[in-house]
Amino acid sequence: MPRSSKCQYIRLEVISGKNLKVPSEHIPTGVYISLNANPKRPWKSTIGVLSSDGSTAWGETVTLSLHKSPKLLVEIRAFFELNQMLGNREVVGTLEMSWDALLNHGNEPFDISFPSVHGAHPSLTIKVMVQHNCDNQDSAWLDMSDISLCC
């Protein structure tokens, strides 16, 4: 990366997910993505409705600071109901990635595959763009979706 990572931010768009199979036999009420690039402020997508073919769409964007962590932890989690209330969450897939692995795809959408879960290989379609913000005096980054992990 040509510039200092303290000046670089990744704008990551989570587009969709495929082959999202819940390990238990529970019927999920929905699934969401958790991104952990900053241990103090992990980002979570909204809950997406899981279709019968195990896919869903999000279309959410988050801006992440490259200097908070050397790697990004991505988890797909399912919610399921428990006695008429939203209950436990179950991990559908976990993947730890380096920033370089994300940046090797240019500005085009691409799939990231997770290890197999009960015979299914969950995957996410994402799009990544590098942004530079060295001129910002207070180190805050304004994201259009009002979600920021760089502060």
User: What pLDDT is stored for residue 150 in this prediction?
Assistant: 35
- The DSSP secondary-structure symbol of 45 reads P
Segments making up each domain of the chain, as ranges? 5-132
Range with top average pLDDT, 73-82, 126-135, 141-150: 73-82
For the segment 45-94, what is each residue's pLDDT rounded down to a tens digit? 999 998 988 899 999 999 888 777 778 899 999 887 665 544 567 888 99
**If you average pLDDT over every residue of the chain, what do you get?**
78
Torsion, Cα 98 101 106 110, to 10 degrees, reads -110
The domain 5-132 is placed in CATH, from the list 3.40.47.10, 2.60.40.150, 2.60.40.10, 3.40.50.10490, at: 2.60.40.150
Phi-psi region of 134 (alpha: psi -120 to 50; beta: other; left: phi over 0): alpha
Question: Using H for helix, E for strand and C for coil, what is the string for 113-150?
Answer: ECCCECCECCEEEEEEEEEECCCCCCCCCCCCCCCECC
Give the torsion sign (CA, 111, 46, 59, 55).
positive
Torsion, Cα 148 51 110 43, to 10 degrees, reads 20
Size (the chain), residues: 151
What is the C-alpha to C-alpha distance for residues 114 and 49, in angstroms, rounded to an integer? 20
Mean pLDDT value across residues 25-34: 84
What is the C-alpha to C-alpha distance for residues 22 and 118, in angstroms, rounded to an integer? 8
What is the C-alpha to C-alpha distance for residues 15 and 109, in angstroms, rounded to an integer? 8
